[in-house]
Amino acid sequence: MRKRASLACALAVASSLLITSPAAAASNIDTKPLRDAVTVSGIREHLAELEKIAKANVFEGVPTRATGTPGHEASVDYVVEKMRAAGFNVTLQEFKADIFFEQSEAEFERVSPSPVAYMRYDGQEGVWYTADFSGDGDVTANAVVVDFTEPTSEASASSSGCEPEDFSPEVSGKIVLLQRGTCDFGLKVENAQAAGAVGAVIFNEGTIGAPDRNDVLIPTLAGYDANIPVVGTDYATGRDLVDLVSEGPVTLHVSVDGFINEGVTTRNVIAETPGGRADRMVVVGGHLDSVYEGPGINDDGSGVSTMLETAEQMKVLGITPRNKVRFIFFSGEEQGLLGSNYYVSQLSKKQIQDISVMLDFDMLASPNYGRFIYDGNGDEQGFAGPNGSGTIEQVFKDFWDSQGLAYETIPFDGRSDYDAFTTAGIPAGGIFAGAEDIKTAQQAALYGGTAGQPFDKCYHQLCDDLGNINDQGLSEHSDAAVHAILTFAQTQSAVNGTGKGASKKAKEFKGHHKVR
């Protein structure tokens, strides 16, 4: 989950949680009893069970809970059992998904001049990665640059490969170098292969001063018919190749051995309180799947386990919410937000209007954690969510202020399960502990931990297990999550919603996987 956060001023002032109209949350809700009941040890019990499930369901040699694997199905069964025992009404929402995974390691090399075997991105190091839903192939051919645009300090207007006319006859039989820009990656690839290209390398656009537009690009081609091997790379590598091609022939080798399992039946788990106002429903979401490369205990076992423990302790304390609370454990998030997109697509207009807020909890216990809040009103990051999203942001800010804890805001970038909800006009928000981005010295001063190291060194890797959980970070994030859940469950005020966000949304998938 690549998040680029801007530093916000953390006010060391206790908050009364009084939020003014028209988007007022509850002002007199005592969340401490539930926060005290939801303990790190209780959450860890669920994390241990999820890890046990992954280890008992090894797929292609890896303990995993990825969508379409036995480990994911066992995770569904576990969540169903726990939520029913907690007194929630549980339903399973089935849908079909196309799942992509690699059968063997892909390769990306410069054969000439000066041979280089480029390092595959492993979550911390490396310059390239396989495009999600890439076609198969093992090709060696000369490179051709397609419509390169020199980057500026503003987002690039590059339309490289967006039009069939971008591809000259010399593309036939060659590997094309495509720059990120204004159209979907899948469209670029379809145009390239129609022109006879045998492979594609898509590099980031290079916007000056924008790390997410320069670092490793992992595109998704989902929804397009790619039949040539495709990899994504960072801007520096792509630019180096562009410059080399301008000087003379450059020969590349690209190999992808992928497999698309089409029409896999998978399930979202939907669990809701028996009572509460259905016209002010609080949706709490996290994803139940991991990546294929590991068990996914922080990503997103931490969010899932916090949701489970919260539900169980609501029953223990006899909490009857004023507003119905619906916990949703989404499938297919790592393949492109499939479960949350499907869930929202099945809602009627009235059902959309009846959702008061959506709270997204994804990665709450990163070992070198930070404290990040989605910028709901857009005043810091420039991307506002639907009306009411600012209220959610403020609830999290006020809570961490009351605890004397610093935080930063991050933008709605479309890379977690809130995306389908904000697109539909539903207020959304959440918190996040950090992924593979490097913690700065300034952030280390705010949160502790180690500057110069990733927030989660095991992001999307085999080592994302119980040893990857930071108990202090989990405590601080779970407290904030529980506070927000109960605040909106008990509020007597409506939260404004069903209004579009104020800005263009960056259509990107979590886990680096980007559409354009």
Residues classed as catalytic = 333
Reported as half-sphere exposure (CB side, CA atoms, 13 A), residue 355 has a value of: 31
The DSSP secondary structure of 234-245, one letter per residue, reads -HHHHHHHHHHH
Pairing of strands 323-330, 251-272: antiparallel
Task: Return the number of other C-beta atoms located less than 10 Å from residue 263's C-beta.
Answer: 9
Contact 461, 293 (CB under 8 A): yes
In the three-class reduction of DSSP (H, G, I as helix; E, B as strand; rest coil), residue 482 is classed as helix
The residues, any chain, with a CB within 8 Å of residue 485's CB and separated by 6 or more, are: 282, 284, 310, 325, 359
165-170 own/partner pairs: CB under 8 Å, 24+ apart: 166/191, 167/191, 167/192, 167/194, 167/195, 167/197, 168/144, 170/144
**CA 138, CA 18: separation in Å to the nearest integer?**
61
For residues 377 and 62, give the distance between their C-alpha atoms in angstroms, rounded to a whole number.
Answer: 41
Which whole-number Å values give the CA distances from 12 to 145, 399, 400, 403, 472, in the listed order?
53, 11, 9, 8, 19
Give first-to-last CA distance, the chain, whole Å.
16
- Calpha distance 444→437 (Å, rounded): 13
Q: Report d(CA 218, CA 359) in Å as an integer.
A: 27
**Cβ neighbours for 276, distance < 8 A, ≥ 6 positions apart:** 320, 321, 322, 323, 324, 325, 489
3-class SS letters over 456-470: CCCCCCCCCCHHHCC
